Copies of this chain bind each other. A is one copy, B any other.
Amino acid sequence: MAIPVETFHLSAKAKGTLQARIQQMVAEGILSGRFQRGEKLPSTRKLAKHLGVSRITVTLAYTELLANDYLSARGRSGYFVSDNAPEPPDFGPLAPREDRVDWDQALARRYTGGTRLRKPDDWAGYRYPFIYGQTDPQLFDHANWRLCAMQALGIKNFTALTMDQFANDDPELVTFIARHTLPRRGIMAGPDEILVTMGAQNALWIAAQLLCADGRKVAVEEPCYPELRGLLNNVGAEVQSLPVDQFGLRPDSVPDGTQVLFTTPSHQCPTSATLPRSRRDTLLERAADMGALIVEDDYEFEMSFLRPPSPALKSLDEDGRVIYVGSFSKSLFPGLRLGYLVGSADFIREARALRASVLRHPPGHIQRTAAYFLSLGHYDALIRRMSRALNERRTVMETAIQEHGLQIAGSGAHGGSSFWMKAPDDVDTEQLAKELSWQSVLIEPGAPFFASANPPRNFYRLGFSSIPSERIAEGIKRIGTALAKHGAGR
Contact = CB atoms under 8 A, between A and B. Distances in A.
Interface of A: 1, 4, 6-7, 9, 11-13, 29, 32-34, 50, 91-94, 97-103, 106-114, 116, 121, 124, 133-135, 137, 140, 142, 145-146, 149-150, 153, 155, 158-159, 161-166, 168, 175, 178-180, 183-184, 186, 188-193, 198-199, 201-202, 205, 209-214, 216, 227, 230-231, 234, 259, 288, 291, 293, 308, 311, 315-316, 318-321, 329, 333-337, 344, 346-347, 349-350, 353-354, 356-366, 377, 380
A1 B176 CA distance: 13
B359 A198 contact: yes
Given A94-B188, A111-B350, 16 more contacts: A6-B184, A12-B311, A106-B293, A109-B213, A111-B354, A116-B356, A133-B164, A134-B163, A137-B162, A140-B162, A162-B335, A165-B335, A201-B357, A227-B357, A359-B359, A365-B366
A205 B1 CA distance: 36
A334 B91 contact: no
Given A93-B190, A349-B112, A334 B288 contact: no
21 contacts: A1-B377, A6-B184, A7-B184, A91-B191, A93-B188, A97-B320, A98-B318, A101-B320, A101-B344, A103-B347, A107-B211, A111-B350, A116-B356, A124-B159, A124-B163, A145-B153, A162-B333, A164-B329, A227-B357, A231-B357, A359-B359
Central interface residue in A145, A230, A291, A334, by most chain B CB within 10 Å: A334
Question: Would you list the 9 A-B pairs with minimal beta carbon distance, nearest first?
Answer: A162-B333, A99-B320, A164-B334, A100-B319, A111-B353, A198-B359, A9-B186, A108-B213, A7-B183
Per assembly, the copies of the chain total: 2
B91 A190 contact: yes
